[in-house]
Amino acid sequence: MMSYFPIVRMRRLRENATLRHMLTEVTLEARHLVLPIFVRPGRGVCEPVEALPGVAHWSVDRLPEIVEPAMELGVKAFLFFGLPSYKDEDGTSGADMSQPAQQALSSLRACYPDAYLIADTCLCEYTSHGHCGHVTPDGRIDNDESLRLLANVALSQARAGAHMVAPSDMMDGRVSAIRAALDAEGMTDVAVMSYAAKLASAFYGPFRHAAGSTPSFGDRRSYQLPASNPREIIRDALMDVGEGADALVVKPAGCCLDIVSRLRAETDLPLAGYVVSGEYMMLRSAIAFGSLEEERGLLEYHTGLRRAGCDLVITYFASELASRLKKG
Ligand code: PBG
């Protein structure tokens, strides 16, 4: 279609506020948002996370204080990260039913039937070395042995009450390993949302601080994806589709919108974009510095993800955004 000024004037559609509203193409609504929550051992604890101002570590008994207000604002989905009371080589605490993540899932599942509970399935928070898999004596990450451990973590989370498990480790074959383990236990209705396009990113810094999951040696580049390789990223993400993933996560979100829009074109699965800790802090710092208008800036940033093709947006700003959206 050719369009020529002055016959065509784009501003005719933008001049009138009612028409502008009628022609809104992409919306950001509370129902699209997922709020990540860190759960830690103990009782009566709500401890602010220094690396992530505005985010806290919660003990299970105090979770209603963050879950209820969010639900009142229309945020119904929560993504849980567990901080265990012990760590070992193979991350045993990740599959321990008495640990905070599992306890949180079972208590919320009983108290809030409308809440949708997603568990982050990984090993790095639970291993003494901080890697997302089993480390061999020569310091490599053993893919297939890691699958066995990850499937156990996912099973324990599903048994505890997770509606959905979200493997974020980036081992090959984890989606099918987890799907098979769930199905073998009759948990065919538990969904798997894989972090399908997860980059080896500098933007996880504050999270690793918050979750105590910085690797004690090496880095995660043997399993997380290189920012320089779009074709490899898409191939890797589409592998998860073939293995039976129900939804895919792209992470970080803001600097990977090309990946979101390519995946949107190549698969019909629901897509989630994760505004990770480093992006959160970029936005927070800009707001604190007076360089970014809080409400409009946050709305624009998160709407960008929806425009690129995200069905869901995982963000530490979920409650703030929902409260802004409620005001209209
Ligand atoms: C665990 C995991 C990480 C994040 C989510 N799940 C950290 C990592 O891979 O190092 C990052 C989230 C964030 O930065 O907000 N595997």
The domain limits of the chain are 28-326
**Structure tokens that stand for 46 in this block:** 């709500």
Cα of 22 from ligand 1 centre, angstroms: 38
Q: Tens digits of per-residue pLDDT, 249-274? A: 999 999 999 999 999 999 999 999 99
Pocket of ligand 1 (CB under 6 A): 120, 122, 124, 132, 168, 204, 207-208, 213, 276-277
Which residue type occupies 157?
Q
Cα–Cα separations (whole angstroms), residue 102 to 110, 134, 158, 168, 205: 12, 21, 9, 17, 25
Half-sphere exposure of 230 (CA within 13 A, CB side): 9
pTM over 0.95: yes
Q: Which amino acid is at 134?
A: H
Query: How many residues are present in the chain?
Result: 328
In tens, the pLDDT along 38-49 reads 999 999 999 999
Q: Is 259 exposed, middle or buried (0-12, 13-18, 19+ CB in 10 A)?
A: buried
Considering only CA atoms, which residue is closest to atom 16 of ligand 1? 168
pLDDT confidence of 1, banded at 50, 70, 90?
low
Q: Is the separation of the CB atoms in 228 and 164 below 8 Å?
A: no
Sign of CA dihedral 60, 61, 66, 72: positive
28-326 CATH: 3.20.20.70
Testing ligand 1's pocket by substitution, the residue of 122, 141, 224, 280 carrying the most ligand atoms inside 8 A of its CB is 122
Q: How confident is the model over 32-80, as pLDDT tens digits?
A: 999 999 999 999 999 999 999 999 999 999 999 999 999 999 999 999 9
Q: How far is 43 from 251, CA to CA, in rounded Å?
A: 32
Structure tokens at 312: 């869901």
Q: How far apart are CA 213 and CA 283, in angstroms?
A: 23
Is residue 139 very low, low, confident or very high in pLDDT (cuts 50, 70, 90)?
very high
Stated as kind and residue range, the H or E segment containing 78 is: strand 77-82
The minimum-distance atom of ligand 1 relative to the CA of 36 is: 15
Nearest to 161 by CA among 193, 125, 118: 118
